[in-house]
Amino acid sequence: MNLLSKIFSNTRKPEGFFGRIMVNGMNGGSHARMAQWGLSFVNIAQGANILDIGCGGGANIARLLTLVPKGRVEGIDHSPLSVKKSSQVNAAAISAGRCRIQEGSAAALPYADGAFDLVTAFETVYFWPGIEECFRGVHRVLREGGQFLIVNEDDGLSGANDKWEKLIDGMHTYTPDELRALLAAAGFGNISVRRQQQHHWLCVSATK
């Protein structure tokens, strides 16, 4: 693996020196603008329970907490480095009992059936192993009428996806049509696709 691949592979599971740089970068810049754009399509009750899968540096958990001042936000990530950073960023909410962040996988969500009103995935479904089963897991932990929100930095139509997939082992940049089909197969309905064409950002929402 060359140095460039080693650096960018930390987007999949941040670890070590380059991982710390990557996790800090996830909390600002274009990542923040894209997350805010995606969240603009969500209407959620102030007392809702939310799960953020692949919580990275924790900035999106902080944003979600502001949307649900009477609710709770859970975060899960398979990178111990990300769990540590997310916990630091959201330490006050954790102390107040409004947030919990733990290590784990999208392929085996450790939550009860129907536990959440909203599940979010920011720039992470690219890396989910066995994505069909992962989506069925998301469907399971959502309540009836709950929403699943996917926000990706690349819509699979930019022409840059081949470059990133060669750099980052195990990455797949899903197109809108691919995500529609996968979500429908997992039992979701009311699937909506929004694209920010200048940057090729993609937001897909679906309802249980």
User: Is the dihedral angle over the CA atoms 90, 95, 98, 101 positive or is it negative?
Assistant: positive
Would you list the domain boundaries of the chain?
3-207
Q: Does domain 3-207 have CATH number 3.90.1720.10?
A: no
Cβ atoms < 10 Å from Cβ of 135: 25
Q: What is the pLDDT of residues 92-116, one digit of tens each?
A: 999 999 999 999 999 999 999 999 9
Q: What is the pLDDT of residues 43-64, one digit of tens each?
A: 999 999 999 999 988 999 999 9
Ranges of beta strands (E only) in the chain are 49-53, 72-77, 99-103, 116-122, 142-152, 189-196, 201-207
Q: What is the pLDDT of residues 134-190, one digit of tens each?
A: 999 999 999 999 999 999 988 888 776 666 666 667 788 999 999 999 999 999 999
Distance CA 95, CA 153 (A): 32
